Amino acid sequence: MSKRKLYPAIEPFATHRLAVSGLHEIYFEEIGAESGQPAIFVHGGPGGGIEPIYRRYFDPSRYHLVLFDQRGCGQSTPHACLEENTTWDLVADMERIREELGIERWVVFGGSWGSTLSLAYAQTHPDRVMALVLRGIFLLRPEEIRWFYQEGANAIYPDAWEEYLAPIPEAERGDLVAAYYRRLTSDDPAIRAEAARAWSVWEGSTSKLLPNAELIDRTGEERFAEAFARIECHYFTHGGFFDQPNQLLDNVDRIRQIPAVIVQGRYDVVCPMKTAWALHRRWPEAAFHVVPDAGHSGTEVGIIDRLVSATDEFAAL
């Protein structure tokens, strides 16, 4: 059977700005049919922001899709701001958006950090979630952070790793996330920018099964990197603001009754399949699809096929 493709490019029918605290204002947009199945797209990073291509995983004739830029990134302001910026602030923002639009329940769709935040949201507000579509599972446990930012993924990408190490002196390499956090929060804009670029390009260089120059260029852009690196490193330094490292796995019972699809690339180097497997073992009711020829990115051909099939299935719930 031929693989499912993304829906055609589309513009929002409405865009909004919402003050969610004394400090933060977030951007969100509505796509598709106002009377369609409500859904929310939860982007990655944290700090990655939304892209026009993210609108295209949903049939616009059947879905009322909402996309938002999480605090401090994309078109949300202040840019790259770390204050009042935690997982639980973002969960509350999703509720604010839902209430603002008068939506009762929605399909929640997220990849990578988007899967983390989708799970945190669903476990906090299970009654608001009609279905979950999760990709490239990331649970933000210490072993996952260690794998990608300290020791593990460097065995597969030793070349890109050299550039990730470059801004950090040898003496500080025993704890790279801490060394990066000092630089990403430095008062010196040049130090911040150099660290942000190296941190961000490391992820851009490792996210696709085959190297993708466009993604590497995008992750190296100053404005993107500033938010992506600072916000990621802030969340990882704080253990994702979870009470316990295994919180999202331990609380699966709260959401087991929700229809769900998990999609995972076999060769995901950013969020290795071990994590998706642990979630699958805890949650056997959720459909589990391993794409044999894909890495981390949501735009791998086989990943798109599974994700679009899932949203098509949930359009009729």
Contacts with ligand STX by CB under 6 A lie at 44-45, 48, 112-113, 138, 203-204, 207, 219, 232, 270
Of these residues, 280, 289, 296, 305, which one is catalytic? 296
Phi, psi dihedrals of residue 48, rounded to the nearest 5°: -80, -30
d(CA 59, CA 6): 9
Toward ligand STX, which CB reaches closer, 113 or 181? 113
d(CA 306, CA 182): 40
Toward ligand STX, which CB reaches closer, 163 or 313? 163
Phi, psi dihedrals of residue 300, rounded to the nearest 5°: -65, 140
Of these residues, 268, 280, 297, 305, which one is catalytic? 268
The distance of closest approach from Cβ of residue 183 to ligand STX in the complex, given in angstroms and rounded to an integer, is 18
Contact 46, 117 (CB under 8 A): yes
The distance of closest approach from Cβ of residue 45 to ligand STX in the complex, given in angstroms and rounded to an integer, is 5
Crossing angle of the two packed helices 222-237 and 189-206, in degrees rounded to 10 = 80
Contact 219, 164 (CB under 8 A): no
User: Which residue in the shown chain puts its C-beta closest to ligand STX?
Assistant: 44
Toward ligand STX, which CB reaches closer, 122 or 270? 270
The distance of closest approach from Cβ of residue 72 to ligand STX in the complex, given in angstroms and rounded to an integer, is 14
The distance of closest approach from Cβ of residue 46 to ligand STX in the complex, given in angstroms and rounded to an integer, is 7
The verdict on whether 35 is a catalytic residue reads: no
Toward ligand STX, which CB reaches closer, 64 or 306? 306
Q: Which residues contact 203 (CB under 8 A, 6 or more apart)?
A: 148, 219, 228, 232, 270
CA 194 from chain centre, in angstroms, equals: 23
The distance of closest approach from Cβ of residue 279 to ligand STX in the complex, given in angstroms and rounded to an integer, is 15
Query: Beta-carbon neighbour count of residue 187 at 10 Å?
Result: 6
d(CA 14, CA 49): 18
Toward ligand STX, which CB reaches closer, 21 or 212? 212
The verdict on whether 268 is a catalytic residue reads: yes
Contact 68, 40 (CB under 8 A): yes
The distance of closest approach from Cβ of residue 111 to ligand STX in the complex, given in angstroms and rounded to an integer, is 7
Toward ligand STX, which CB reaches closer, 32 or 240? 240
The distance of closest approach from Cβ of residue 193 to ligand STX in the complex, given in angstroms and rounded to an integer, is 18
State the number of CA atoms in the 13 A half-sphere of 124 facing the CB.
16
The tokens for 252 are 């699966």
Of these residues, 24, 64, 69, 112, which one is catalytic? 112
Extract long-range pairs of 189-193: CB within 8 Å, 24+ residues apart: 192/226, 192/230, 193/222, 193/225, 193/226
The verdict on whether 188 is a catalytic residue reads: no
For the chain, the maximum distance between any two Cα atoms, rounded to a whole number of angstroms, is 58
Residue with tokens 């899709």: 65
Residue with tokens 């096929």: 305
Q: Which residues are catalytic?
A: 112, 268, 296
